[in-house]
């Protein structure tokens, strides 16, 4: 199953599962919830942290968190 860490630049995806205990509540509050859209905004140095557009919020998270969040790539 792909995770946020697998997204390519500009690719959009839907969040599937956020049940992992490693996901901070703050990220959910930013809108990282099942069914919501997520997009990798641009490539960044070392691909870590990742620069994302989650549910219309621009947010950066580390790769180690990104691999915990399963997504379904839509475009």
The span from the CA of 11 to the CA of 28, in Å, is 20
For other proteins, the binding residues (CB under 8 A) are 18, 21-22, 24-31, 33-34, 36, 41-42, 44-46, 48-49, 51, 55-62, 64-65
At closest approach, how far in Å is the CB of 52 from other proteins?
9
Cβ closest to other proteins, residue 34 vs residue 72: 34
Query: Three-state DSSP class for 44?
Result: coil
At closest approach, how far in Å is the CB of 6 from other proteins?
19
Q: Which residues contact 14 (CB under 8 A, 6 or more apart)?
A: 35, 36, 37, 38, 71, 72, 74
At closest approach, how far in Å is the CB of 63 from other proteins?
9
């Amino acid at each position: 199953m792909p995770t946020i860490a697998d997204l390519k630049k500009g690719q959009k995806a839907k969040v599937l599962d956020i049940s992992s205990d490693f996901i901070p509540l703050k990220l959910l509050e930013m809108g990282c919830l099942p069914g919501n859209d997520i997009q990798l905004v641009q490539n960044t140095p070392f691909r870590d942290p990742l620069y994302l557009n989650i549910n219309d919020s621009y947010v950066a998270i580390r790769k180690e968190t990104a691999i915990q969040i399963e997504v379904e790539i839509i475009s």
